[in-house]
Structure 1
Amino acid sequence: MYGQQPSAPARHACAAFRAAGAEHILELGAGHGRDTLLFAREGFTVQATDFSGTGLEQLQQAARDQGIADRVTTVVHDVREPLPLPDASVDGVFAHMLLCMALSTGEIHAVVDEVRRVLRPGGTFVYTVRHTGDAHYGTGTAHGDDIYEHGGFAVHFFPRRLVDALAESWTLHEVHAFEEGELPRRLWRITQTRPAE
């Protein structure tokens, strides 16, 4: 759906992870792995999760083809469930447009709580979401909770107050506005860290 080239947010995340001394990365909603493969090529070890086992199989094959399979593991996972990882076990977490799926505000908070749990103190979380300035916000079929559906695809559009609420008890470094793809989609790229304890 989004092509084979790594996303701009993943390139930003690489720099942020490297600056923080990260080695072990978790990617949520990895899909076919265009960003996972970038992280692995850049020398990180990556655990990629996604709801689709088929997408993860294609990711694993691509990693083998590129000679980086030793740095990539995959797990089929529904983000509404607890992450299958121990506490403080990863250095960085990346999620491109996963949190703006058709998740309730409560489910989004639960995901971010899980991210905080698995991140080591000082670890970095980079995520992107479509926001309420997007052209599709307020159009299509309304499902409540800032969720609107177009062509069978529902999106939770983020108001700034939700970003700020998700950053409570974190150190929020950046909320960067950018555009991507057709329409174009209007997104925020958020970078925050779990404070060192």
Structure 2
Amino acid sequence: MRHHDDDLVGVQREHWQRTYGAHPGMYGQEPSAPAVHAAEIFHANGAKDVLELGAGHGRDALYFAREGFTVHATDFSAVGLEQLKHAAKAQGLTERVTTAVHDVREPLRLPDASVDAVYAHMLLCMALSTQEIHALVRDVRRVLRPGGVFVYTVRHTGDAHYGTGTPRGEDIYEHGGFAVHFFPRHLVDSLAEDWALDEVHAFEEGELPRRLWRVTQTAAS
């Protein structure tokens, strides 16, 4: 499917490839705070396997593997995933981690009801149209087993960068080469239709700081 600006998405892909190439392990080796929280939720829910969307160089995927989960990590940057694979080998986690280059504007290449949990840290707020985001969340619902949990984070319209930079339509603004789709609250609510919306938690990250929501929702049993 190609609902949004192919040129913008192509530029974003190349930008991330260059960025990961120039700055290996750019986010460090420690897991993000949302990943630590998500692991607790996944353990409490009895999850065994986790699909991570937008895994990048893998700091969160590797943390999930160290926590005992089997992890399938996807990203549209082959460079980032190569770094993840090398790190998994160095940490003795190759049996727990698989990777696949994947553009989330395309259907997930997984069977229906095949994973226990899905995690995405700032993936949904990349250069995706609202229609593409809805399609992705429907596909996440498809691959989750009944009662499975989806934890994702997004920058929202209360962020300092919202409304600044180069506008790309649909609440998407580009700063320093990175395009961000800032989420209004009604978008979060609409994505949770036919789910149980367990939590929308506001938090901050980074030096700006970035203002985000951590969203937890559960597929109907």
Q: TM class, shorter-chain normalised?
A: over 0.9
Question: Counterparts in 2 of 1:5-154, with a 5 A limit?
Answer: 5-154=30-179
Secondary structure of the corresponding residue to residue 107 of structure 2: coil
Secondary structure in structure 1 of the residue aligned to 2:134: helix
Counterpart position of 1:3: 28
Give the whole-Å Cα distance in 1 for the aligned partners of 2:165 and 2:55: 27
1:29, 1:138 → 2: CA distance?
A: 24
Q: How many residues align?
A: 196
Aligned mates of 1:74, 1:9 — CA distance in 2: 21
Structure 2: where are the runs of 5+ without partners?
1-25
**Alpha-carbon distance in 1 for matches of 2:88, 2:53:** 17
Measured in 2, the distance between the counterparts of 1:25 and 1:79 equals: 16
Secondary structure of the corresponding residue to residue 63 of structure 1:
helix
After the TM superposition, which parts of structure 1 deviate over 6 Å for at least 4 consecutive aligned residues? none
Q: Scaled by the length of structure 1, what TM-score is found?
A: 0.98
TM superposition shift of 1:191: 0.3
How many Å apart are 1:2 and its aligned residue? 2.3
Give TM-score, length-normalised by structure 2. Answer: 0.88
* Identical amino acids, percent of aligned pairs: 78
Residue identity opposite 2:182 in structure 1: F
Distance 1:22 1:37 in 2: 16
Is 2:187 the counterpart of 1:162?
A: yes
